[in-house]
Each structure stands twice: as structure tokens, then as C-alpha cells.
Chain A
Amino acid sequence: MALRMTVQVLLVLRALLRDPGRELYGLELSEETGLQPGTAYPILLRLEHEGWVTSRWEDVDPKAEGRPARRYYRLTAGGAAQASTAVAGARRGARGAALRGLAGEGGSA
């Protein structure tokens, strides 16, 4: 199952790339990306399956903490490099498309 670079995937990657060493849990990631957890979760699973992301359970006692343990996600070294390339490529593509669009509008006007 190849990873498709959709806008949502790019949003998740961008949020993780802000600080590649930082670990984010699901809801934090949803808030940063503006995606619903139901959208972000399959993306994280795919990224993890592709080896771009690793995850771990938070090591806390839920009773002592008064909340359930979180699952933290972090980019791997290889994943960070690939994610940077993908995000940069998408930016270039978007810029190119925008410029083409502007040129098209200029030509038609």
C-alpha cells in the first residue's frame, strides 16, 4: 500500500516536521493540523507502517495520573528526511500550480 501524498498526509508531516525530535500524541497532532482524530489516525498508521514514524505508549500509571496513557508519535531519522523532501516537493508543486494559475488568469484577462 503505497503512501499517497494527500493534503492531509502533508499536514501531518508538516506538524511532525516542526520539531522532528519532539513527540506528539494523537489529539495534539489533530489540533496542530486541524484534522479530526478519525482522519489523522489512519494516516499515522500508514506512516508508521512505511517506517516514517515510530510510536510508543506513554509510560504512566493511568490511575495515578488520572487520565489514560497517550500514544506518542515521532518521525524516524529516515522518515524526517523523506518527509522534508515530500513537503518541499509539495510546496514547489503548489507554487508552480499557483504560478501557472496566475499566468492562466493573466493570459485570459
Chain B
Amino acid sequence: MTPQVPAPAKCSAEVAARWCLPVTAIATTVCFVSMFARISVLLTESFMFVSLGAEFLWLGIYGRRVARYFGVDMTGLVRRRGGGHVRAEVVSAGCSSAPLGWWRVLCVVSSVMPREAGRRWVGEAESFVFEAPGDRRVLRGLLWSAPETAAVMWWGELSRMARLALPGRCAARRGRDSWP
């Protein structure tokens, strides 16, 4: 009785020939995809770096002018209702309890509001903060409500501008809600 000899395994060369192509194809595809991904990330990041640099350059050149346009001076100055820019120490005159950092935050936040309304908001914030010294909730509450406040202000400003653009139609209401 001859022993059953198991069928010989396929030749390794045959296995290699069978699997080599798909494996190579998959590996190449992965490599290409990864390479493209990395290149695109690199390009995006370099674009981001370039754009960041350009933004800094732009801000360096025009930032002060833009800040002046919005009524904000970024060099430790605060804006004051009634126009004009006065240094923080002169404005406060010892009666402001908020640190200068908060004033900067208030000034920056107020720059998204219409100009006069922003000045008024900062003035009222100054009053609130002075009257409730040490109560950070007041300042925090004002800052949290700033988007809503800005929306209300812009709505008022836009409707005022629309009324001014239609003088005959809405003359009676003109100036009612201008920001004093």
C-alpha cells in the first residue's frame, strides 16, 4: 500500500507571480494617495503660511489705519464716547476698575458694531464695570451678549440708513433711533 502523498504545494514562483501584481498595484496606489495627500497638505500649509504672512504684512501696513477707521487704537488707547481717542489712563481718571486687558477686549468687540453704537456700548460697559467693581459676571455677561447687541445695533443702523435713503416716505420717523 503506497502512502498517499499530498499534492505538492504550488511553486513559490507561481504564488509570487499570482500575487505580485495586485500587491504591487495596491501598494503603489497607497503610496501615490499618501504622497498626493502629503503634497496637498504641504501645499495647503505652505499656502496657509504664505497667507498668514501676507495677513501680518497687511495688518502691519494697514492695521493702524483700519483700527483708526473703526475708532479703535490698538496701542493701549481706548475710545471714548463723543469721538476722539484718549489714552486709557486719561479716560479712566482713576475711576475705572477694569484692567486694561478687558478694555482692549471691549474695544475689539465694539469694532464689530456700528461706530457710534460701539462707542456707546463701551461707555456703558465702563459705567457698568465701575458701578459693580470686582464683579466679573457683569463684564462677562456684556461680552456674551455682544453678538446679540451687535445684531440689534446693526438692525437699527440699517433701518435708519434705509429710512434716510427714502426721505419722503419715512421723514417723520427719521432720527428717532439714531445713536446719540
The CA-CA distance from A46 to B126 in the complex, in Å, is: 21
B143 and chain A: residue at smallest CB distance: A38
Interface residues on A, range: 20 to 34
Q: Beyond A27-B132, A49-B155, A51-B177, is A71–B127 a contact (Cβ under 8 Å)?
A: yes
Q: Is A48 at the interface (CB under 8 A from chain B)? A: yes
B150 and chain A: residue at smallest CB distance: A42
The CA-CA distance from A12 to B143 in the complex, in Å, is: 20
Which label, helix, strand, loop or mixed, suits the secondary structure of the B interface? helix
| B33 nearest CB across to chain A (Å) | 50
The CA-CA distance from A49 to B160 in the complex, in Å, is: 10
Total A-B pairs, Cβ < 8 A = 82
B153 and chain A: residue at smallest CB distance: A45
The CA-CA distance from A63 to B86 in the complex, in Å, is: 14
| A58 nearest CB across to chain B (Å) | 9
Interface residues on B, range: 20 to 34
Q: Beyond A26-B124, A38-B142, is A68–B177 a contact (Cβ under 8 Å)?
A: no
Quick one: which of A57-106 are within 8 Å of B by CB? 57, 62-63, 65-71
Q: Out of A1, A38, A49, A70, which one reaches B145, CB within 8 Å?
A: A38
Could you give, for residues 126-162 of chain B, a 1 whenever the CB lies within 8 Å of some chain A CB and a 0 otherwise? 1110111000011011111100110011011001000
The CA-CA distance from A71 to B81 in the complex, in Å, is: 11
Q: Is A22 at the interface (CB under 8 A from chain B)? A: no
The CA-CA distance from A56 to B149 in the complex, in Å, is: 18
The CA-CA distance from A1 to B152 in the complex, in Å, is: 8
Q: Is A37 at the interface (CB under 8 A from chain B)? A: yes
The CA-CA distance from A48 to B131 in the complex, in Å, is: 23
Residues of B within 8 A of A71 (CB): 120, 123-124, 127
Which has the most chain B C-beta neighbours within 10 Å: A37, A55, A67? A37
Contact B123 A26, beta carbon cutoff 8 Å = no
Q: Is B96 at the interface (CB under 8 A from chain A)? A: yes
Contact B145 A39, beta carbon cutoff 8 Å = yes
Q: Is B94 at the interface (CB under 8 A from chain A)? A: yes
Residues of A within 8 A of B128 (CB): 26-27, 37
Residues of B within 8 A of A49 (CB): 152, 155-156, 159, 177
Residues of A within 8 A of B127 (CB): 25-27, 67-71
Q: Is B57 at the interface (CB under 8 A from chain A)? A: no
Which 7 residue pairs across A and B have the least CB separation, nearest first?
A38-B141, A38-B145, A36-B141, A27-B131, A63-B93, A68-B126, A68-B127
Using CB atoms and an 8 Å cutoff, list the residues of chain A in contact with chain B.
1, 25-27, 36-39, 41-42, 45-46, 48-49, 51, 55-57, 62-63, 65-71
Knowing that A27-B131, A66-B94 are A-B contacts, what are 5 other residue pairs whose CB atoms are under 8 Å apart, sorted by A's residue number? A38-B142, A38-B143, A38-B145, A66-B93, A67-B95
